[in-house]
Amino acid sequence: MAAADLDFVLIDNENFTSPEITIQNPDGTPRNLTGAGLRFQVRPCQGSPGSPLLDLSIGHGITVLSAINGKIQIAFGSFAVPAGDHFQDLIEDQSGYRTAIFQGRFEVTHGVTRWP
C-alpha cells in the first residue's frame, strides 16, 4: 500500500493538535487499528540517521479516538522541532507487519510571541 501524502504546517510558539485523522484501507473503508502500534517521526530529511526531531507513539502524542473506525489525533505541547522544512511519516505495526500510512512535509515557521 502506498503511503498517502499529508503535509503539516505549524508555528513554533503554539501547541499542536492535528484535526481528526481517519486511516483508511486501500478500498476507502476505515482501517481497524485494534491492537496496532503507531509511530510518527519527524526528521530533517528523508532517511536522516540519528535521533528524530520528534518521535510520537500511542499514549505519547498519538491518541486513538476510535480503533474500529481508524480515527486518531496527533498532539504535542512543548515545541522541540526547530523552524524549517522537515519530513514526517506515520507507520502502523500490526503483529510485526509494518505499513506506511502517510508521509509528507513538516514545515515549522517562527511565531512572534515568546514565553519566558
Q: What is the pLDDT of residues 23-82, one digit of tens each?
A: 999 999 999 999 999 999 999 988 788 899 999 999 999 999 999 999 999 998 766 788
C-alpha cell belonging to residue 4: 498517502
Whether the model pTM is above 0.85: yes
Query: In 3D, which of 78, 73, 74, 70 has the Cα closest to residue 12?
Result: 78
Q: pLDDT at residue 83 above 90? A: no
